[in-house]
Amino acid sequence: MPYYVYILSNRKNGVLYTGITVDLLKRVYEHKERFVSSFTQKYHVQQLVYYEIHEDVNAAIWREKQIKRWRRSWKIRLIEETNPDWTDLYKNL
């Protein structure tokens, strides 16, 4: 079973939210429809700007925690390495 570590934003260089899930499509939909997390609701964080896939749950949890501890500039660099325009990747899932 794949595990996804993902980053959402409200706009380019905007608010960032990092999470983990087993169903990326469903989870991002829940964020977009504001079914989850008061943080993402409050800041309108709905654009999927980065994600990675892990086969091991422990590796995914470790990675999520690692990214959450990172400086903001490191997270932005991570996003822009694969998504320089901050396109909403949800549309292509």
Ordered by start, the domain boundaries in the chain are: 3-92
pLDDT tens, 16-26? 999 999 999 99
Instruction: Give the global pTM.
Output: 0.95
Contact predicate 89/49, CB 8 Å: yes
Please indicate whether residue 40 or residue 67 has the higher confidence score (pLDDT): 67
- The fold adopted by the segment(s) 3-92 is GIY-YIG endonuclease (3.40.1440)
Predicted confidence at residue 37, as pLDDT, reads 66
pLDDT tens, 8-57? 999 999 999 999 999 999 999 999 988 876 788 888 899 999 999 999 99
Cα-based distances in Å from 6 to 10, 40, 80, 92: 14, 13, 14, 14
